[in-house]
Amino acid sequence: MEFLFGARRGQKTFKPKKSIPEGTHRYDLLRHASATLGSGADLREAVQLPDGEDLNEWVAVHIVDFFNQISMLYGTITEFCTSQRCPLMSAGPKYEYHWADGQTVKKPIKCSAPQYIDYLMTWVQQQLDDEAMFPSKIGVPFPKNFLTNAKTILKRLFRVYAHIYHQHLRDVIALEEEAHLNTSFKHFTFFIQEFNLVEKKELVPLQELIDELNNRASKAAIR
């Protein structure tokens, strides 16, 4: 949630912040999620679907939130993530991502990390602005393929975390943003695991970190 990030000098949002209109049920859900996270509750409990709430609504709220979190996190290191320093979108030496959205770019293309992330975040933003996919009006149902599309969005957002951890962790530490990155990724990880939203094979680049987060959470729960 937004409160995870301090207002550091020079900190910026990579893409325009996507807001949820006040007075809507989705805004109330966002406030509920923020309050739960801020109460010191276990993150695994905080991401659980509230009683009586619609799963699609809950997922939609979190996608907007993760989009904003990742945009802000990446915004802090854009000066380091350049086409010269990151000529390929990668997560370490073993994992390389090629861009394709199935519409304007049908055949996967190699591109630099900043170009890939720009493509990715622009694509997510277009999904969020699509009333047919993310309806904002009361009474308008989500499409039947919403969760399928949501899984694709979250899979691609994960790749930004993976790139930051593998290629820019030193930059993040130098900026004293490591705690923000870790908290954001932990929230993201527990959410996608709670609802099985990203296939395990996609998480392999950060599997060791994910295992560590899960182990710590399990030990804390035993205490």
Question: Which positions make up the binding site for Zn(2+)?
Answer: 81, 86, 163, 168
Q: What is the three-state SS of the chain?
A: CHHHCCCCCCCCCCCCCCCCCCCCHHHHHHHHHHHHHHCCCCHHHHCCCCCCCCHHHHHHHHHHHHHHHHHHHHHCCCCCCCCCCCCCCECCCCCECCECCCCCCCCCECCCHHHHHHHHHHHHHHHHHCCCCCCCCCCCCCCCCHHHHHHHHHHHHHHHHHHHHHHCHHHHHHCCCHHHHHHHHHHHHHHHHHCCCCCHHHHHHHHHHHHHHHHHHHHHHHC
CB atoms within 10 A of CB 215: 10
Considering just the CA atoms, what is the radius of gyration of the chain in Å? 17
Which residues does the annotation place in the binding site?
A: 81, 86, 163, 168
